[in-house]
Chain A
Amino acid sequence: MSSKMVEFTVNGKKLLAFEGLNLLKYLLDNGYNIPHYCYHDSLGADGNCRMCMVEIKGKKRPQIACDTLIKEGLEVNTNTPTIKRLREEILQMQLRNHPVDCPVCDKAGECYLQNYYMDYGLYKEGKHKKQKIKKSKNIEFGRNVVYDEERCILCKRCVRFFANITKTNELGVIKRANHSTISTAPNQKLQSQYAMNIVDLCPVGALLSSDFKFKQRVWFLQSSPSICHGCTKNCNITIDYSSTKFQAERIYRYKARRNEDVNGYFICDEGRLSYKEYHTNRVTQIEYKNSIIDFKEAISKIGIEIFIHKDIVILASPNLYIEELESIIKWSKKLNARLYSPLECYKDKEFADNWLKEELRVANAYGVMALEIDTSTPDISSDTLLINFDHKLAQDINTLHRIDFITHSINSQGLILPLASWVQSSRHLINSSGIKQYAPKTLVANKPILTVTEWIEAIGGDI
């Protein structure tokens, strides 16, 4: 791609773009609805699905837009009768052996085949009443990926993901013509720690995640942009959740969200499956010495504890947001307390790799460093009061005088106060490259749980 701007025409409208830019990329980025399967921003063009046909003046036959580069004076038509007929015929080819089992397919609702059939197909049913080729279903690829041969349209996005992105070449197309399918090497399963990205990449229901399979239909899901809290990379994700009449809000899956500056298009499998943490082992009630107490009692107990102890240590989790950490800093100054946020216990050398996984398995460690909070391990004597804001280290500290603000239950005999999970509050995070990102509030618990700032406000500290 050169830096020279050229003028070209799309559907009679004059446009400006850089010379040599991929035509399909330009059209998609600028809101033109061009059907496509094999082209993906991260994988580039492959040209096997033939769906993105456009007419170009001077060319004898319609051309695929993903293999056309923009040049001076190009005249493109995306909506001529020929193009419409072509799209319909290509769809017919793709649906020739497709089982059309949308009612039991988990992709239904976000399936490209479905969408394009509604937009460009809509031909009479009789056309695919012919005998279809039966292939196998539910083939376990390993790493939570399930493959359905019948639904596959062989766009090779998954094959190219392993070939170009992870460079592990774990999938390939085997057999010929109508019998072609995607397969791993004989007796091999997928190994990649990023394998579940191919489920996101698959435009149809051929590759499904066994973790999400049959859990919920996608049209019941609501999506919210967010940030993964698995490590300091802070990959951008979409949280898919739903709340029905019969069930409280529940997260069903995380999907990768495009952000060129941070994670590109992908996330690791561990981060993708970390949605389960939200629902397991949550603290919802205020407890003191294993018995439930009410809010007023808790506030007065905190007041007494703070009053009688001279030496107070506050542990703040590096998973907390910038604003929450700031209010803890203010509060600790008011209490004359020592504030720590040790990072050592979050280090996991085995987890790290040189792509999206980082050693520090906590979201806002660089925010903690930016705010200059002491990251060393505190020394706690027998008459020190420990105020813990969801820090992992607090589990291993044995002290009688403690107040725990926690999201997930730990073994503690002191005062336990429930804290809103990161999904339930909206603030800023700083990642390892110093990028400050915003994560909006996604879920609201049926019984509202206070966030750090709300707790400090309730106790009477400044925020």
Chain B
Amino acid sequence: MSKKVKKVTRYGNSTKERLYLPAILEGLKITTSHLLQNLSDINSVETLEYPEEQPTDITSRYRGLHRLTHRADGTIRCVACFMCATACPAECIDIVATTRDDGVDDKMPLQFNIDTLECIFCGYCVEACPCDAIRMDTGIFSIIGKKREDFILTKDRLLSHKGVFGEEISRA
């Protein structure tokens, strides 16, 4: 297998670039222009008055809180294969597997905890999942709690989350 080699020009060797100052001044120019514009018209600054105003730009690609999907018959899609826990760079997924009790498959999670205090919302778990069992399409962007335990998403909580972009049932 031959690799495609792309030659990239190396910048930064001309005298102008080595002086640094022109680049810095160029940056300052942009900053100053924004400052002057905002000073002249304060209403042009984009402000979201959260929580009275809610964000409107949450698209289907937004990585919100996780959810565990269901099969068409309502059973849990997850087979506790640990791919998400393996892929997770923050190691925030804690799964305990058990033999399945609903007769649909071999294996299911007895316990499936995601510690959102450690989660970095990278979405690797969603990509790693071989059966579309975990998703981040809930659109939930904030999680509140009074204790640390409140931030741990348990299996029941993950199953109760709904997908808000129309794909309720696992596609796998």
Whole-angstrom distance between the Cβ of A435 and the nearest chain B Cβ: 40
Say yes or no: is B89 at the interface (Cβ < 8 Å to chain A): no
Could you tell me if B80 and A214 are in contact, using CB atoms closer than 8 angstroms?
Answer: yes
Could you tell me if A104 and B86 are in contact, using CB atoms closer than 8 angstroms?
Answer: no
* B83 (CB) vs chain A CBs: closest residue: A103
Q: How far is the CA of A220 from the CA of B79 in the complex (A)?
A: 17
On chain B, the residues within 8 Å of A103 by CB distance are 79, 81, 83, 130-131
Say yes or no: is A137 at the interface (Cβ < 8 Å to chain B): yes
Say yes or no: is B107 at the interface (Cβ < 8 Å to chain A): yes
Q: How far is the CA of A131 from the CA of B97 in the complex (A)?
A: 30
Selected interface stretch from B13-21, B38-46, B61-69, B98-106? B98-106
Q: A103-B81, A104-B79, A104-B107 are contacts. A217–B91 as well, Cβ < 8 Å?
A: no
Interface string of B85-127 (1 = CB under 8 A from A): 0100001001001110000011100000100000000000000
Could you tell me if B86 and A214 are in contact, using CB atoms closer than 8 angstroms?
Answer: no
Could you tell me if A137 and B106 are in contact, using CB atoms closer than 8 angstroms?
Answer: yes
Say yes or no: is A4 at the interface (Cβ < 8 Å to chain B): no
Whole-angstrom distance between the Cβ of B98 and the nearest chain A Cβ: 6
Give the contacting residue for B94; candidates A104, A219, A246; CB below 8 A.
A246
Whole-angstrom distance between the Cβ of A440 and the nearest chain B Cβ: 27
On chain A, the residues within 8 Å of B113 by CB distance are 246
Q: How far is the CA of A104 from the CA of B107 in the complex (A)?
A: 6
Whole-angstrom distance between the Cβ of B69 and the nearest chain A Cβ: 15
On chain A, the residues within 8 Å of B99 by CB distance are 213-214
Whole-angstrom distance between the Cβ of A458 and the nearest chain B Cβ: 36
Whole-angstrom distance between the Cβ of A396 and the nearest chain B Cβ: 39
Say yes or no: is A245 at the interface (Cβ < 8 Å to chain B): yes
Give the contacting residue for A219; candidates B80, B86, B106, B107; CB below 8 A.
B86
On chain A, the residues within 8 Å of B82 by CB distance are 217, 220
On chain A, the residues within 8 Å of B86 by CB distance are 217, 219-220
On chain B, the residues within 8 Å of A101 by CB distance are 106
Binding site for A on B (CB under 8 A): 79-83, 86, 91, 94, 97-99, 105-107, 113, 130-131
For the A-B complex with A214-B107, A246-B94 known, give 16 more contacts whose Cβ atoms are closer than 8 Å: A103-B79, A103-B81, A104-B80, A104-B81, A104-B106, A104-B107, A213-B99, A214-B80, A214-B97, A214-B98, A217-B81, A217-B82, A217-B86, A220-B86, A244-B94, A245-B91
